[in-house]
Amino acid sequence: MAEGIKDKVAILGMGCSKFGERWDASPSDLMVEAFEECLADAGIERGQIEAAWFGAGIDAFHVGASALPMAIALRLNYIPVTKVENMCATGTEAFRGAVYAVASGACDIALALGVEKLKDTGYGGLPQRSRGVENDMYWPNLSAPGAFAQLATGYRARHRLNKEDLKRAMAHVSVKSHANGAKNPKAHLRREITAQQAIDAPYIAEPIGLYDCCGVSDGSACAIVTTPQIARGLGKERLIAVKALQLAVSNGAESGHESWDGSYLKTTRIAAQRAYDEAGVRKPAEEISMTEVHDCFSITELVTMEDLQLAEEGKGVTAVLDGNFDAEGKLPCQIDGGLKCFGHPIGASGLRMIYENYLQLQGRAGPRQLPDPKLGLNHNLGGFPHQNICSISMIGHM
């Protein structure tokens, strides 16, 4: 019977580029920026890395379909390098490959890196025609804001909320994240906003307004992982270990019949429970110190906190407005600013989330440092609410 990976893998080092409109930087430049920080943090030579996983989502525009661009950019000599993609969960997918390789004993030291250049491609998350006729007729008018606006509508209908209360809670999510992001030199958006600005902003897809949406950014993040024994042998004293790593992928059932009402993310609920079981977490709201969740839109974060069992079902609005997930709240969420302030370079986002919790657990987060965190949860979402991928990782002290 599978026993899971709890405490079998330690994070040796991590790195993260500055996120933003990086017109001056190529994908290779961003990879090198994140990797150099990561390698220095790990305290090893690049020749000690035995295998690598490379995550990029929209590869046709910038890095191509293979893993060669990372091997070339980082001068990884003759080791296996694997390209992975799993929609917006690509960053965590790269991490999963490296972690599983070490946990299995296939290699001792592995690298996971994700990168995305979105600004140069003009990508904005809006629908566009493709060359294939079958793709032209598949979701021809779907957009990310439109899909997650439907999540907001489904959530409001199920829990019989009025529009004003939901809008106020969504605004609070954005205000909180901007306040956190203003303290982070690597964030793209570093300006605080007011609740009224968020409420009065023009709609993108009702009820989602401009300040409810994450930005379009360029960025890269990476991790080097190994076994706890090797980490200690390299002089690492306070180990940050992987406690769980779970992936759930929809088979499309949510689109096929009425068993799902559009008010929550089923993949998040399934992946979360599996991760809690793997990590031995029985009371998530009491045992988890902080979360980085996939806040592509403010409504996504609100619903996710319920799906992760960190707010009572139907009480997410109250929990948000009570400040439970603020920096000073019971369970801080997006302490680095989240996707809201970093944007969403698809291949990098999952690793960027892990990077923040890693810094927090080491007490290295500077002005946004939380007091004595013990366990961090990272939630990386892909696709749309009705056909979805969810990857969850948890890291903490050994």
| Catalytic machinery residues | 88, 344
Q: Please answer whether residues 152 and 166 qualify as being in contact, where contact means their C-beta atoms are separated by less than 8 angstroms.
A: yes
Residues 6+ apart with CB under 8 A from 109: 12, 44, 48, 49, 50, 102, 224, 225, 226, 230
Q: How far is CA 79 from CA 51, 91, 96, in A?
A: 6, 20, 18
List 115's β-bridge partners, or say none. 220
**Greatest Cα pair distance in the chain:** 59
Residues in the chain: 398
Give, as one character, the DSSP assignment of residue 121: G
Nearest 10 degrees: CA dihedral of 385, 387, 393, 394? 40
Is the bond preceding 373 in cis, omega lying within 30 degrees of 0? no
Q: Is 254 helix (H, G, I), strand (E, B) or coil?
A: helix
CA–CA distance, 47 with 156 (Å, rounded to integer): 53
Written as six digits, the tokens of 163 are 């529009």
CA–CA distance, 388 with 48 (Å, rounded to integer): 36
Task: Look up residue 10 and give its amino acid.
Answer: A
Residue keyed to tokens 């920096």:
327
State the DSSP string of 36-77.
HHHHHHHT--GGG--EEEEE-SSGGGTT-SSSHHHHHHHT--
Residue keyed to tokens 């076994």:
227
Q: Is 114 helix (H, G, I), strand (E, B) or coil?
A: strand
Residues 6+ apart with CB under 8 A from 187: 19, 181, 336, 337, 341, 342
Residue keyed to tokens 């992987």:
242
CA–CA distance, 65 with 85 (Å, rounded to integer): 10
